[in-house]
Chain A
Amino acid sequence: MKKIQTIIRKEWSEVFKNRLVLFTVAFLPLILTAIPLGIIYATTTSADFASGAGDLPEQFNAMCPPEIAGGECFQVFMVSQFMIMFMIIPLAIPASISSYSIVGEKINRSLEPLLATPITTAELLVGKSLAAIIPALIATWAGFTIFIVGAWIMLSGSGIISSFLDGRWLVAIFVIGPLMALSAVAFSVIISSRVNDPRVAEQVSMIIILPVLAVFFGQLGGIIVLNIGFMIASAFVLAIVDGLLVYLAVRLFQRESILTRWK
């Protein structure tokens, strides 16, 4: 356990000196938290919004509990659209950190002396993974907390807040978020074994956010409805995908593979 802590501390002190990583970790959550808060602010302060809200399509109303209707339901719909973008945080941050952490070691040629210590490959992989996952989860949960607090301040007394804290979003933030972070790390390890530039590794690893964008556009187009059933099914599928990705990453992240096959 001490060795895992040493690896985590080493990763953070090394990786957070990189401005690109720091930007991703610090600014991405801020931007993605500010967008839904901005929507709430805009829709709350707009006089036109309340008057036109009575003509909502049926699928909008289906998303809201019976006590929320009209303009408030429209707010729930709009915020939900962008809340899915919020799920980019637990993917982008670990992908960025682990790309720099693993490819950075390849470039520095520091993996061999590291592997020559009495650390097990599992400890090293767990340390590197946690170093990427922990900041992602802190940023995701902190961003979500800031959003809830901000929304509560702007919508004081409104029942909408409860719809942002319903099962859908709790599953998304606290179950799907960590699963996504794990898949991003495993995917980055796989990519990092083949490339020698951390920027390339990061860019290729970002492919992993495509499914989130697909859900975003699917929801916008009315193809996907973000309800609790969808979230639980997504968590289930993600757990299976994670299993496969972690299996592949562990197979690649072996001393012999790293030293003799990683290009």
Chain B
Amino acid sequence: MIKTENLTKKFEQITAVENLSLEIPEGEVFGFLGPNGAGKTTTVRMLTSLISPTQGSASVNGFTIGQQDIDIRRSVGLLTETPGMYDNLSAERNLDIYARLYEVQDPAGQVEKYLRFLGLWERRGDPAATFSKGMKQKLAIARALLHEPRTVFLDEPTAGLDPEAARLVRDFILEIKEQGRTIFICTHNLDEADRLCDRIGVFKTQLLVVDSPAQLRAQVFGRKVVFHLLNADEALADKLGSQPYVTEARLIDNKIVVTVDDPETHNPDLIRLLVAEGAQVQFVGELRRSLEDVYLQLVKNA
């Protein structure tokens, strides 16, 4: 569990993070989205007790930042933006060093477990320098999990990976989510955030909004239903638009796009109305705005 209250970090005149108040329950996958320089990495560094906040307070896994820093670092795993492996050392040696620094009871066993889990066991003796970017990233993820942390911070986990490796990493994140760990992901990959995260926080020095991806879409753009008709016209669009629960109805080619708060409740009424007006309905579906649209809209307005 992560809880912050008015968390602020200033570097001389520059405010990197301002009054961040956030609560992430145990077991949630939380996506932290924001443009470059928004303060995402600074936030992660504060939450992993690498740097101290200028103001405000935070606790991670029940430990207070600034007071129980060693306990926090012991209970969290961190995947940094770059893998940062020791290139001259073998994969196994790299992980063994970290297993010992994290005071893992059975370092060799844990190293083997994660090397096998991520499909690197056969290459365990090879220097990290010989690994592809994807393999290094997997090794870095293994490093972040060796000590079985309750909370995992992943900074751009799939950045620079080919689609196959990115998919493997995403599947792996879903696996560790199923183990009940709290996962905090900083990412620019909005599709990834959409697929992985229970909730998303859009951040630009300040937290702009926090909600589930679906609710964010609804908040920013409203929920839209598309009626594909054989005989769509302005009259039908006006008829739909006159309903009290419809915010907007627009005719686009042979479609009428209707903005409505609660499509599950009102769609049957709308379909009945269309049929009564002589409309020939081909398809009805929800217009899904991409998370990218939502994100760009929020950041643009910030």
Which residues does A use to contact B, with CB under 8 Å? 2-3, 6-7, 9-10, 13-14, 17-18, 108-120, 255-256, 259-260
Contact = CB atoms under 8 A, between A and B. Distances in A.
Contact of B143 (A13, A14, A113): A113
Contact of B84 (A3, A18, A109, A120): A109
Contacts of B151: none
Contacts, number: 75
Given A2-B100, A6-B100, A116 B50 contact: yes
B88 interface: yes
Contacts of B144: 113
A50 B144 CA distance: 71
22 contacts: A2-B103, A9-B97, A10-B86, A14-B89, A18-B88, A108-B85, A108-B86, A109-B80, A109-B83, A109-B84, A110-B84, A111-B84, A113-B143, A116-B78, A116-B80, A117-B98, A118-B103, A119-B101, A120-B70, A256-B51, A259-B51, A260-B11
A7 B143 CA distance: 16
Nearest to B100: A6
Interface of B: 11, 45, 48, 50-52, 70-71, 73-74, 76, 78, 80, 82-89, 93, 97-98, 100-103, 140, 143-144
Given A109-B82, A113-B80, A113-B84, 6 more contacts: A14-B89, A18-B88, A113-B78, A118-B102, A118-B103, A256-B50
B101 A117 contact: yes
A247 B195 CA distance: 50
Contacts of A255: 50-51
A205 B98 CA distance: 29
Contacts of A112: 50, 78, 80, 84
A17 B128 CA distance: 14
Contacts of B52: 256
A7 to B, nearest CB: 8
A55 to B, nearest CB: 57
B258 to A, nearest CB: 50
A116 B88 contact: no
Nearest to B153: A116
Contact of A10 (B45, B51, B82, B97): B97
B45 A118 contact: no
B51 A260 contact: yes
